[in-house]
Amino acid sequence: MSIEAEARFRIGMATIGQAPRDDVVPAMRAFLPPDIEIIERGALDGLTYDATRPYWAEPGQPGIITRLRDDASVLLSHARILPAMQSTVDRLFHDDGVQLVVVLCGADWSALRSERLIVNPGTLFPAIIASLAAGRRLGIIKPDAGQVEKEQARYAALGIDVVVTAASPYAGPARLDLAHTAAEQLRNSNCDLVWMTCIGMDRGMRDLVADVTGVPVVLAHALLARVVTELLDGARAGVYV
């Protein structure tokens, strides 16, 4: 689909939790062209907290954490939420008429299928971060402690010297204390670069981590928004998406 210069570009943002993600999308919009339209949908839209239980990770198993509309957080099973995410993507493309979909989760969503472009942070982020961290000690902050071991193995397999810790962005004001503790651990481990992996981590957490560690910090939602901006600039110049 070619995009006319004067046309309003419409993108979809798909969350594994519930839309709207007013903790994330406004921050991302600050990086995006002002004339685009954003349509949000969530895999758990319309469900009560108890109704989300079939999608939860089993106790002791690594999962992916997300926020619900009432600010509660839940730890989901990737396999269990995947069909709901596929339905969410399908609705954004077919019902809402978006030109591309951005997944608001750092897990790998390569299993999602569409004839149009899906921006998958799960493959995008490791490629960029591993390139930046080559030859350096990388500090990583995950949103849940249960994800630390898997993340350690992923970057170690890429030949990266990595230290992984956790700080949930869904702990209200306490998220800053958690970020401070994580930053101290990374500073004491002599990390050269910090990667804050979760889309829900905000600028306040990032600024605190940067102050404590004294090294460059990459924030997930900002990195994702900048990549999407590049895609939109090409599309609005008449390139096909």
**Residue 241 domain-assigned (yes or no):** no
Q: Label residue 234 by pLDDT band (50, 70, 90).
A: low
Q: What is the rounded CA–CA span in Å between residue 84 and residue 54?
A: 12
How large is the average pLDDT for residues 57-69? 92
Q: How many domains does the chain have?
A: 2
Predicted local confidence at residue 240, as pLDDT: 43
State the Rg of the chain over Cα: 18
**15, 86: one domain:** yes
Do strands 73-76 and 64-67 pair parallel, antiparallel, or not at all (unpaired)? antiparallel
Predicted local confidence at residue 237, as pLDDT: 56
Of the listed ranges 58-67, 76-85, 107-116, 163-172, the least confidently predicted one is: 58-67
For residue range 76-134, list pLDDT tens digits in order: 999 999 999 999 999 999 999 999 999 999 999 999 999 999 999 999 999 999 999 99
**Residue 34 domain-assigned (yes or no):** yes
Alpha carbon separation from 220 to 12, 45, 54, 94, 109 (Å, rounded): 18, 23, 28, 28, 16
**Residue 77 domain-assigned (yes or no):** yes
Domain extent, residue 188, equals 123-219
The structure's pTM equals 0.90
**Residue 151 domain-assigned (yes or no):** yes
How large is the average pLDDT for residues 145-166? 94
Q: What is the rounded CA–CA span in Å between residue 193 and residue 196?
A: 10
**143, 106: one domain:** no
Count helices and strands (H / E) in the chain.
7, 10
**41, 134: one domain:** no
**17, 93: one domain:** yes
Alpha carbon separation from 36 to 5, 100, 170, 215 (Å, rounded): 12, 12, 28, 34
**226, 183: one domain:** no
Q: Label residue 236 by pLDDT band (50, 70, 90).
A: low
**29, 95: one domain:** yes
Q: What is the rounded CA–CA span in Å between residue 146 and residue 136?
A: 25
**Residue 209 domain-assigned (yes or no):** yes
Q: What is the CATH number of the domain that holds 39?
A: 3.40.50
* Among the listed residues 200, 208, 225, 227, the one whose alpha carbon sits nearest the alpha carbon of residue 24: 200
**157, 103: one domain:** no
Would you say 8 and 35 are in contact if contact means Cβ atoms under 8 Å apart? Answer: yes
Strand order in the sheet with 161-166: 161-166, 137-142, 193-196, 217-219
**57, 127: one domain:** no
**Residue 45 domain-assigned (yes or no):** yes
